[in-house]
Amino acid sequence: MDKNLIGKIKITGKIICKTGLHIGASKENVEIGTIDSPVVRDPITREPYIPGSSIKGKMRSLLEKALAIQLGILGSNNRRNIGTKNNPVYIHVCDDAEKAIKCPICRLFGSTGKDGGKNFPARLIVRDANLTKESIEKLNNIDTGLQYTEWKFENAIDRVTSSANPRQLERVPRGAEFEFEIIYNVEDEETLQEDIDNLSLAIELLKLDALGGHGSRGYGKVEINFEEIVSIPINDLKTGKAEFPKFTDFSNTADIIKVFSQSGA
């Protein structure tokens, strides 16, 4: 499928941790004798960050739930297991690009083809969110024995044996702030309004849910503050135009997308 690019919508802002945040690093990177469950960090600066894939994955699953009945993707209907047999994780993925372009979930978040079907690359790019300069300075001064983070004991109960399984979890403390950036690729006018409405809905749902692990224990509550939403038509980029329409939130999506229509260009 040939993809057309009409423009970009760039959304920037801050993710503010309202409660401790735990986004786990893979076990392979853990040194022996350290904390049980560490957070993911930049390998060079050692600063914790929020991987774009974590933000995008959470937004996808929340939007999927919100549109499940509308799209007929309840249960294992039209969904794929990306987990294991014992720990299944079902997500909706269209099997072919022709279906994906008509699907509000796959259009935004992408799909991988199955049984000979073609991939549909995501229209959304979600960048890794790094700590703000202020937060780096602030967190560098906390004295917890860890760099930029705190640790917390959690007592998990083994569901089979009922035995207590205390473990140490590392988390980014409440108040930490991260810079976020999301790019939406404008590929056609027909689906633009629906995509932007769904993107806005996914961000709102994220505020009412949790990022990272242990959300049900209170971890990962975030506030998301927009800095700006910029509408950038490709034709204006080609002519070297430097100023683009800017908005402070999604309250008027009609204005955000107006610049991409032929009559409004």
Residues that bind Zn ion (CB under 5 A): 94, 103, 105-106
Cα-only R_g, the chain: 21
- In 3D space, the residue among 210, 259, 216 whose CA is nearest the CA of residue 235 turns out to be 259
Smaller CB separation from Zn ion, 120 or 219 = 120
Determine contact, residues 109/122, Cβ cutoff 8 Å. yes
Least distance (Å) between residue 169 CB and Zn ion: 34
Smaller CB separation from Zn ion, 40 or 67 = 67
The residues near 93 (Cβ < 8 Å, ≥ 6 apart) are: 79, 80, 106, 111, 112, 114
Torsion angle (degrees, nearest 10) of CA 185, 186, 192, 196: 30
Determine contact, residues 226/17, Cβ cutoff 8 Å. no
Distance CA 21, CA 1 (A): 40
Least distance (Å) between residue 59 CB and Zn ion: 15
Smaller CB separation from Zn ion, 39 or 94 = 94
| Alpha-carbon distances, residue 61 vs 3, 28, 112, 135, 219 (angstroms) | 25, 26, 16, 29, 18
Smaller CB separation from Zn ion, 68 or 146 = 68
Least distance (Å) between residue 73 CB and Zn ion: 8
The dihedrals phi and psi of 19, each to the nearest 5 degrees, come to -135, 170
Least distance (Å) between residue 260 CB and Zn ion: 23
Least distance (Å) between residue 43 CB and Zn ion: 34
Least distance (Å) between residue 18 CB and Zn ion: 32
Smaller CB separation from Zn ion, 25 or 66 = 66
Q: Which residues pair with 12 in a beta bridge?
A: 181, 228
Determine contact, residues 162/128, Cβ cutoff 8 Å. no
Smaller CB separation from Zn ion, 9 or 106 = 106
